[in-house]
Amino acid sequence: MKILSLFSGCGGLDQGFLQAGYHITWANDFDKYAVETYKANFGDNIVLQDINKVNLNELPEFDMIIGGFPCQPFSIMGEEKGFEDARGTLFFKIAEIIKYKIDQNEKPKVVVLENVRSLKTHDKGRTFKTIKRILEKDLQYKVFTDVLNSADYGVPQTRNRTYIVCFDNQNVEFEFPEKQELNLTLQDLLEENVEEKYFLSDKIIPTILSNGTGGYNAKSEIDLKIARPLCATMAKMHRACQDNYVTQGNRIRRLTPRECARLQGFSDDFVIPVSDTQAYKQFGNAVTVNVSYAVATQIKNTLENLGEWQND
């Protein structure tokens, strides 16, 4: 099955689908550092460009669209305005691509979208309501959605994300992948020999370990067995109630980029060609490979049962 990948980042969502036997024909991202990482690992089929500037008639043939699209406020929130509800948002660009392909009699068989857990409650629920209505009513897909946690798919990281899986076939019955037993802890993924720069200075430790100030108060813990969600701003080193810190040799340190990659399901042969700051951002934004693979496999099994799976 040929895939068009949007908002690809460093390739977490793509990696899972590749492992499940799909083929990424075209990918896109506007972050030059993410594209650098993607190219180092997957090849030159990714385009560095704002998706809003891509010419639809230049897109290659594809059977599916996948993408972890950014969540933005919708500029117009009418009840029955269809595409008008989503203009000015990146979701609209996805819908526009699908609509273009429908007009060309090349409607994608499957659409897979990933977003934050709070997508359903974003803008008092109106964002998700609009997305679902456009997918079902305007684009005529059968839509399935669920919140999946990375810790339920073999990775010791609490990371809840909304997955939306859409099928062109209205008769399809789809179930999200079953949860798996977690046999790893964060400590199992730590590197043994770590550079000095990752260890915290005595001066910053009291701030990192504090429980917050003013109106923000949260318990700071380190050495967790299951990591907190990796975030795109890890390079800034937040308090331990938000970021992950571990003890090694009686000293406290932050996670290394390689450890963050492991927490997102990337194998150690995954190349990290960028600076630590960019690597933290990319892994903080990435889709967990294990979850992507589980979803991709479930979709593949569903398509095979329908007789709609295509080997490229």
Alpha helices by DSSP H, listed for 29-161, are 32-42, 90-103, 126-133
CB 293 within 8 A of CB 22: no
* Residue 126 Cα distances to 20, 67, 120, 121, 139, angstroms: 34, 21, 8, 8, 18
Give the closest residue to 106 by CA, choosing from 56, 178, 39, 53.
56
pLDDT attached to residue 69:
87
Architecture, CATH, for domain 2-178+287-306: 3-Layer(aba) Sandwich (3.40)
- Regions of the chain with pLDDT less than 50: 75-80, 82-83
* CA R_g for the chain: 20
Q: Give the integer Cα–Cα distance in Å for 162 and 197.
A: 35
Task: List, by residue range, all CATH 3.90.120.10 domains of the chain.
Answer: 186-284
Q: Give the integer Cα–Cα distance in Å for 108 and 105.
A: 9
CB 91 within 8 A of CB 70: no
pLDDT attached to residue 54:
92
- Note if 231 is an active site residue: no
Task: List, by residue range, all CATH 3.40.50.150 domains of the chain.
Answer: 2-178+287-306
Q: Which two tokens stand for residue 198?
A: 């990752």
CB 35 within 8 A of CB 48: yes
CB 46 within 8 A of CB 39: yes
Q: Out of 3.90.120.10, 3.40.50.2300, 3.20.20.70, 1.20.140.10, which CATH number does the structure's domain 186-284 have?
A: 3.90.120.10
Q: Which two tokens stand for residue 295?
A: 């979803």
DSSP string, 53-91: G--GGG----SEEEE-PPP---S---SS-GGGGTTTSHH
pTM score over 0.85: yes
